[in-house]
Structure 1
Amino acid sequence: MRNPLLAAVLSCAFAAHAATPSTTFADVAAHLQAPPPDARPMMRWWWFGPAVQKPELEREILAMKAGGIGGFEIQPVYPMALDDAARGIRNVPYLSPDFLDAVAFANRTGRANGMRVDMTLASGWPYGGPHVTVDHAAARLRQAVVEVAASATSVALPAVTNGETLIAAFVGTAVDPAALTPIALRAGLDGRAPIAPANMPRKVVAYIASRTGQQVKRAALGAEGFVLDHLSRNAVDHHLATVAEPLLKAFGDTPPYAVFSDSLEVYNTDWTDDFAAEFRKRRGYDIVPHLPAVFTGQGPDAAAVRRDWALTQTELANERYLTPIDDWARAHGTRFRSQTYGEPAVSLSSTRLVALPEGEGPQFREFSFTRLATSAGHLYGRAVISAETWTWLHSPAFAATPLDMKAEADRMLLQGVNQFVGHGWPYTPPGTPEPGYAFYAAAVFDDHNPWWNVMPEVTGYLTRMSWLMRQGEPANQVAVLLPNDDVYASLVPGKVSLSAEMHKYVTPALTGRILDAGQNLDYIDADAILALGVRHPVLVMPHVTRLAPAVLDKLAEYVRGGGRIVAVGGPPSLAPGWLDAARVSATVAAQAQALFAHPNVRVVADDDAVGAALTAVLAPDMRLSAQVADVGFVRRKLADADLYFIANTSNHPVHAQASFAAQRKAAAWLDPDSGRMTAAVLPARLDLAPYESRVLVLADALPAVPAPVAATTEVADLGRGWTLRFPGQDKAQRLDTLRSWTDVDATRYFSGVATYEKEVDLTAAQLALARLVLDFGSGTPLATTPKVPAGMRAMFDSPVREAAQVWVNGRHAGAVWHPPYAVDVTGLLRPGRNRIEVRVGNSALNVLAGRALPDYRLLSARYGQRFVPQDTALIAPQPSGLLGPVKLMGAATR
């Protein structure tokens, strides 16, 4: 164990490192051009094998830094190649001295270069490995049914194996709680238990505390084994001692910025060794007689008992998994970053137990794991809320483009994310054919990607928006009550997850109606209401039937203080759990009836009516003259300003007038790419290209800023007469018209950066225009319902495939990687002849399409099949280069 005084000092240093949110716009404006580096995106860094070498580790760290990436999370996973001394590939066991030495080197090198370094406390996911014995493995309760003849006077009890215990057995005519009676578990020497004879065949139903058998997913060499029991403190403590302690020792006196736990995917878990005893202590009754109701869902008590059974699992996960790991992290001078959703059934308020909440998923118009994390952060005061981003972006690997990245990132920002963790960066050994390694089911964002030349601009956008969305305070006006007790009551053995079932209550229709009413939203749950009250002006209750009397007391206090409730369906009427349910249900019904009689409570029949009810009680935070469902916003509130991030999430342009609830004296548009501001007039004219985003600043006072100038006059058509040069070619190609270089056999499978050059003559009169812009075309929307294998993508064909850097007369003008595909060249052109150079990076799919796929047969024979590359049938050459039209556009003369 490290020095506790040193750990405390490091902990304080960590807290000081996290930037305090600005409270005034003057503070914000001072950092718009160069936001603090702690807002830069990170990358999940996959170490395959692990088989890593220090020179390549250093090279990749420096490449990340050069690309504007602020740090990395080390994630050791499965081998990608057999040992090969000639290539320097040697797979070493997880936690071996060589592996820990590589971790130490990466930490030193990253820190020396100003990078954030995080470490996952396992290999693969969920936590587990060879140190997890069967008694510490993820647990479940299984049901065994044995047919018994009518005349039988004894029954053979089910056999149990290692890690199993027979909990209870029942006999009856059917697997139905009403038809079953318990039988004694005392068996004779022959292993049979006595039962009374009957005049008809029966069934013996036994309940056995067992193990899921789940193995760690995508484990590194030497990390294979059972997933640990997340409801067992002994199992968690053993993991921390066996895995986490050696990892942290490798970091020496500079612990990681954070330690990480991925989404909880402990499939089929619903029990632990002392579950029955813990249940009795917490719920006040014995669950064992109710196990048939838990499994069958039959009988009047089944739903209430299931609620108690599932809630107990949440409490155990909170107390035995989340809390001890967070405590351990703090004691070691770091912080616990956790994706707190999945199974076991952790809740929104479980996230209060971790320092750094993290979400996943871009579904901003439906129930979202990302909004779970951001809502918890808003409620419980976590200033930085991250998201695992681009997990399933535009499959197969290497298909994702910078525009795809922005399309998903904007949806994350709309949900309140302000730290991106990219998924991800694959370590690639030197000598690997381009474009290098890829994780089996994810996009690739490393410097082997041909469009890497624009990564600094991509990360610059992400950094500026992440930092901006940390300033001030969150300002969502609507809270949606997550009906945890109703969902608990519906859960079944083998699938105990609040987050997996919540979409049945927080439906796309409900979310869409709230957003279309000009609002953004947070989730809230009963625990948060009891601890914090409700701070939002309006609370939406979606078909809530089970609610504790104490929560109803809080809601009554809320409406008396001016809060508004929009309830879908009717008032709650049921006790959350089983104990004393009749009396508690009567209390709930009476309290709810009184609450719903208050004039501040509106009841609507269904989700579709929520929008109108909201509009009747709350002015839209952002109102558009034309209802455009794909335009979203999120607001941050400062003492003297409001910041609205506004994004078009669609593949079509948007034109509308926008008005805002925030009342300030001055307005300005903020360019997310540059941080520069131009004047705005309210109501604001909102003109957004496909997937474009902007920031509106409403402030009590703003410095003088220029008026926006639109370049709408064609100065010159530049669509012809380009030359195109590929690396290694002495002779450039002359292009009469612009077209994809895949149309030519010689370059169909080329992936890389090719250079377009053109000279253009301009007059002094043409250069007198107020603004000059190189416009590369508008692009083409794709059909909105194509088959996307997994995740999402931007449904748009760019006129620049896939991204480019632009130079004018030897000076860098900017990059094009998202709509509008235009670069401001004002001041870079001169009378007479001008030279324009466009360096275009395309997709790595082209080079992959030109050769056979790797054969992993021998790798799988050696290590077992630990992965299958995803959607490889879709690998094909993609259109590449400048596709046109290209024009020089100008604004009105000065």
Structure 2
Amino acid sequence: MSLRTTLLVATALSLTLAVNAQTEWPAITQTTKPWTRWWWMGSAVDEQGIKNQLQQLDNAGFGGTQVVPIYGAIGYEDKYINYLTPQWMNMLDYTVATSKNLNMGVDISVGTGWPIGGPQVTTEDAATKMIIQTYTIKAGEKFKDKIVINDEKQKGIPEVFLSAVTAYDDSGKAIVITDKIVSDGSLNWIPPTGNWQLYALFVCKTGQKVKRAAAGGEGYTLDHFSSTALSNYFKKFDEAFGNSNHGVRSFFNDSYEVYGANWTPDFFDEFEKRRGYDLRRYIKDLSKQSNDEQAARIKSDYRETMSALMLENFTTKFTEWAHNKKSINTNQAHGSPGNLLDLYAAVDIPESETFGSTTFHVPGLRRDSADVQSVEPDLNVLKFASSAAHVTGKKLTSNETFTWLTEHFKTSWSQCKPEVEHVFLSGINHVFYHGTTYAPANVPFPGWLFYASVNFVPQNSLWPHLKGLNEYITRCQTVLQSGEPDNEVLAYWPVYDSWANPKGLDMAFGIHQIDNWLCPTDFYTNATVLHAQGYSLDFSSDKMLAEAKVINGEIKITDKGAAYKVLLVSKTTYMPVATLQNIIRLAQNGATIVLQQLPEDVPGFNNLEAKRKQLKELIASVSFVQKSNGIKEAVTGKGKIIIAENPAQGLAYANIERETLTDNGLKFIKRKIDGGKYYYIVNHTPNIIDGPVTLNTIAGSVALLDPQTGKTGLANFTPQKNATNVKLQLEPGEAVIVKLLDASKASGKKWNYIGENLKPIALSNSWKLHFKDGGPVIPADSTIESTMPWTDLKDDVATQSFSGTGIYSTTFKLNGKKADDYTLHLDKLYESARVIVNGKDAGIIWSIPFKLSIGNYLKKGENTIEIEVCNLMANRIRYMDQNKIEWRKYHEINFVNIKYESFDASKWDVMPSGLGGVITIAPVKFSK
């Protein structure tokens, strides 16, 4: 074969592979599958139980587990295995080995329950707080009291000590008189003149212990601001693990939920080292709760120092420790009194959390107000974790998903779908279910359960159809873990505006407190509005901007991180001089900056006037020219700075084009891949989308990938100037992935667009109803004239309490297969179904819209159809509570409802179960 022939064959093969690749899904891996948090209650596990449950998880489509030991079940105390003992490590080793054989991964928490802590945490290393006591003394007066801690809970603790005493006269003059206190608390100081207030700061202990701790994990919560405390904490792990990670992929730390921990023993010294002045002189300002500017500035410095200690002494050290074990780490930064972006960025896998359920306007989606939390997951909160991953080049952002999605036993897989889509749209691409509880085989229904989880357990009556949800998530994550993020806008988070709050002291940025620290800000408003308008954003911190550089006109925080076309700075009252210097530096090096307004002031207290002068000089050094629509522009160096009161106008002026598909209510997120892009598009509106949708990407070929079914095909599209119009057909609740490649127009299998729905075939014959795989009692078989929920068959009392599978079967005649396809439509489905046509498995219907393509399974003449419906666990639990059948026997919190009250299902209404309405088969003609 000649060289020319060889090249032609190779080129043809390359083109063929390119065409095939256009409609192929990315490869499935461990991490593209969903993982689940695996609660080990009391660590009362054994090898057979571990093996059985891992096999069940594997069969359901899970890629791995996150082992978290927690409190145990009553009556099984003799089965408890103390955390990190040799026996516990043997169970971990068996878990890892068994998981490896199933191609599954294993993560473990670095503690039991949460927050991090345990028996190795001494009182000295325990979470610490300050207590300030005040006294008065007059000139020439001998102080008769003793300056000792008054709090009875703190007395007798050797590690509690007086750290500083500062005296203030009527004019505000401060004198640190700590050295005037003798060992018994007596004051050896008499003021010569005036009236004085004494402020005594004691280093005390919060006394908080690990919540929901497992056997061997009980103990004090850790002082997160002390590197010594963390080092001491990990000594127990070092003894247990040695120099090996024992096959653990990642060590996990849960969210910061340490209450009242606002100090660490050497805080004064750490503060002075970082802020440049002695905080002992300003103890009074720490205790103020008024709109006092000096107090606000002191508190801002205090909070900035807390943030630095959290980052340097806990998060970074945790990452180093995991790396020393030849492993990686996962950390939930939310709730921490620190800059969340920097904390998330300092770990290998930043992990966020969804708590509660979101309101979606998808017809038919059940959302009973009595069964949901009052808080809703917020997209912008989730983006803190994904932004940190994106700007630093980390491939995975994980999420604790479905925590308290609905009331226990009432969550359907159809309710999970839009919630996990909400997570994906934030940039998260590695989902962990919350969660699965290990249970011994001899524990009767409903097995062991965790009080705040959706019950992703084999005992769940919906378990047979969980694979439908898992396959959907897997397909989505194969795409969302491919390539790189593609967000054009980098939005600066002005944390100093939050830190300047004169009220309170330590400031934890928790997901349940966003009404205090996030929602009232212009940053939040802009991020929300711009996202709805079709702009793609990530967030950045002051530290990130200090590390940023400009490459080919785009901003990059790290070499491996994403590139951004513009930096957006929302209205900001307080900005450090260094941050503004970095913004100007980026502009001079070729970046485009959009400011909503120039910063008004500098944060903090030390050298205030000098820093204010620097800020003003910096601002004056940039010369702005008035443009149209109130926009100002300054060309500086290779780049420019734009001032626009309306950020969208500023972005448009900077030639950042929004994606107009959001005008139809569609939501999206993009990924860059070699030679093209992915768009993940979701329809959470009540409207059908049927027509061209414009995407701001030039493409030579376009494919559609359906994550619900796995089907793929080449799309109808029309090139536009700097864009592509792609024909989409999306019903409410559906999602699609659009793959746009630069390559020339491809040939191959076309996407099947629905051109015409012919007259539907109503399945009007009688139905047989048979029950299996459930309880407490299997209802009797019956014949019904038309489909109805089996809970409407009230003559059989067993139907009111049954949770399991009911099989509806009927026959119908098809005169001939004249359509291109046939779609089964279920009018009312409670809750999911597997469809069997002529003895062949046609698939699972588990999400809205309740439909399934079955054309390939139909034949001319008589056809049989079986619809195996699984219902919720609710009716069986209701029966058990009404009949006082004990099933919840746990230590600690035992079992609570969604309002954190004692759980009782006895007064619940019966939840509809089975099929309802008219079942039809719609013949479909595909459009040309």
Give the TM-score band, short-chain normalised: 0.7 to 0.9
Structure 1 residues 666, 189: CA separation in 2 closer, same or farther (over 3 Å shift)? closer
| 1:749 CA drift (Å) | 1.2
Match of 1:93 in 2: 82
SS of structure 2 residue aligned to 1:882? strand
Tell me whether 448-457 or 574-583 shows the greater mean CA deviation: 574-583
Distance in 2 (CA, whole Å) between partners of 1:857 and 1:461 is 33
Structure 1 residues 588, 189: CA separation in 2 closer, same or farther (over 3 Å shift)? closer
Q: In the alignment, which of 463, 468, 478 is matched to residue 479 of structure 2? A: 468
Distance in 2 (CA, whole Å) between partners of 1:387 and 1:27 is 33
Match of 2:398 in 1: 386
Provide Cα deviations, 1:773-825, integer angstroms capped at 9, x if missing partner: 11113xxxxxxxxxxxxxxxxxxxxx211111111111111111112211111
Match of 2:694 in 1: 659
Matches within 5 A, 1:487-886: 487-490=498-501, 495-498=506-509, 501-505=517-521, 509-533=525-549, 534=555, 535-560=563-588, 563-568=591-596, 570-595=597-622, 597=624, 598-599=633-634, 600-605=640-645, 609-624=646-661, 627-629=663-665, 631-650=666-685, 653-654=688-689, 657-678=692-713, 679-682=715-718, 683-701=725-743, 702-710=746-754, 712-718=757-763, 720-727=765-772, 732-743=781-792, 744=794, 745-764=797-816, 767-777=817-827, 799-852=828-881, 865=893, 868-871=896-899, 872-873=903-904, 876-886=909-919
Distance in 2 (CA, whole Å) between partners of 1:596 and 1:675 is 55
Distance in 2 (CA, whole Å) between partners of 1:857 and 1:30 is 49
Distance in 2 (CA, whole Å) between partners of 1:26 and 1:704 is 7
| 1:602 CA drift (Å) | 4.3
Give the letter aligned to residue 79 of structure 2. Answer: R
Distance in 1 (CA, whole Å) between partners of 2:58 and 2:684 is 29
| 1:453 CA drift (Å) | 1.7
Structure 1 residues 28, 552: CA separation in 2 closer, same or farther (over 3 Å shift)? farther
Give the letter aligned to residue 684 of structure 2. Answer: T
Tell me whether 300-309 or 557-566 shows the greater mean CA deviation: 557-566
Q: In the alignment, which of 433, 442, 445 is matched to residue 456 of structure 2? A: 445
Structure 1 residues 857, 425: CA separation in 2 closer, same or farther (over 3 Å shift)? closer
Quick check: 1:361–1:369 contact (8 Å CA) kept in 2?
Answer: no
Provide Cα deviations, 1:556-588, integer angstroms capped at 9, x if missing partner: 2433455443333x3113233333221112211
Structure 1 residues 181, 575: CA separation in 2 closer, same or farther (over 3 Å shift)? same
Provide Cα deviations, 1:834-871, integer angstroms capped at 9, x if missing partner: 011111111111110111288999967xx555664544
Quick check: 1:451–1:804 contact (8 Å CA) kept in 2?
Answer: no
| 1:628 CA drift (Å) | 4.1
Match of 2:488 in 1: 477
Distance in 2 (CA, whole Å) between partners of 1:256 and 1:238 is 21
Match of 1:158 in 2: 148
SS of structure 1 residue aligned to 2:677? strand
Structure 1 residues 150, 509: CA separation in 2 closer, same or farther (over 3 Å shift)? same
Distance in 2 (CA, whole Å) between partners of 1:592 and 1:866 is 59
Distance in 1 (CA, whole Å) between partners of 2:122 and 2:470 is 43
1:218 equivalenced with 2:255 (yes/no): no
Tell me whether 102-111 or 703-712 shows the greater mean CA deviation: 703-712
Quick check: 1:649–1:691 contact (8 Å CA) kept in 2?
Answer: yes
Q: How many residues align?
A: 831
Give the letter aligned to residue 55 of structure 1. Answer: Q
Distance in 1 (CA, whole Å) between partners of 2:911 and 2:489 is 43
Quick check: 1:46–1:74 contact (8 Å CA) kept in 2?
Answer: yes
Structure 1 residues 801, 495: CA separation in 2 closer, same or farther (over 3 Å shift)? farther
Distance in 1 (CA, whole Å) between partners of 2:119 and 2:835 is 53
Match of 2:181 in 1: 187
SS of structure 1 residue aligned to 2:172? helix
Match of 2:6 in 1: none
Provide Cα deviations, 1:32-61, integer angstroms capped at 9, x if missing partner: 175233311111000111222222111110
Match of 1:81 in 2: 74
Tell me whether 634-643 or 429-438 shows the greater mean CA deviation: 429-438
Distance in 2 (CA, whole Å) between partners of 1:881 and 1:392 is 25
Provide Cα deviations, 1:3-24, integer angstroms capped at 9, x if missing partner: xxxxxxxxxxxxxxxxxxxxx9
| 1:28 CA drift (Å) | 5.9
Provide Cα deviations, 1:208-239, integer angstroms capped at 9, x if missing partner: 11122211111112322110111111111111
Distance in 1 (CA, whole Å) between partners of 2:169 and 2:313 is 40
Quick check: 2:174–2:281 contact (8 Å CA) kept in 1?
Answer: no
Distance in 2 (CA, whole Å) between partners of 1:195 and 1:742 is 82
SS of structure 2 residue aligned to 1:892? strand
1:261 equivalenced with 2:253 (yes/no): yes
| 1:491 CA drift (Å) | 7.0
Q: In the alignment, which of 16, 34, 38 is matched to residue 45 of structure 1? A: 38
Structure 1 residues 576, 25: CA separation in 2 closer, same or farther (over 3 Å shift)? farther
Distance in 1 (CA, whole Å) between partners of 2:396 and 2:888 is 44
Tell me whether 303-312 or 191-200 shows the greater mean CA deviation: 191-200
Distance in 1 (CA, whole Å) between partners of 2:303 and 2:739 is 45
* TM-score where L is the length of structure 2: 0.84
Distance in 2 (CA, whole Å) between partners of 1:715 and 1:752 is 30
Matches within 5 A, 1:412-427: 412-427=423-438
Tell me whether 57-66 or 537-546 shows the greater mean CA deviation: 537-546
Gaps of 5+ in 2: 1-16, 359-375, 550-554, 556-562, 625-632, 635-639, 719-724
Distance in 2 (CA, whole Å) between partners of 1:584 and 1:253 is 48
SS of structure 2 residue aligned to 1:167? strand
Provide Cα deviations, 1:137-159, integer angstroms capped at 9, x if missing partner: 01122222346689853042132
Give the letter aligned to residue 286 of structure 1. Answer: D
* TM-score where L is the length of structure 1: 0.87
Give the letter aligned to residue 215 of structure 1. Answer: K
Quick check: 2:380–2:524 contact (8 Å CA) kept in 1?
Answer: no
Give the letter aligned to residue 585 of structure 1. Answer: R
Structure 1 residues 178, 845: CA separation in 2 closer, same or farther (over 3 Å shift)? farther
Match of 2:361 in 1: none
SS of structure 2 residue aligned to 1:514? helix
Match of 1:358 in 2: 351
1:67 equivalenced with 2:60 (yes/no): yes
Provide Cα deviations, 1:488-508, integer angstroms capped at 9, x if missing partner: 232765532246524432665
Structure 1 residues 716, 252: CA separation in 2 closer, same or farther (over 3 Å shift)? same
Quick check: 1:571–1:593 contact (8 Å CA) kept in 2?
Answer: no
SS of structure 2 residue aligned to 1:769? coil
| 1:349 CA drift (Å) | 2.1
Quick check: 2:461–2:872 contact (8 Å CA) kept in 1?
Answer: yes
| 1:306 CA drift (Å) | 2.2
| 1:190 CA drift (Å) | 6.1
Distance in 1 (CA, whole Å) between partners of 2:703 and 2:326 is 42
Quick check: 1:546–1:575 contact (8 Å CA) kept in 2?
Answer: yes
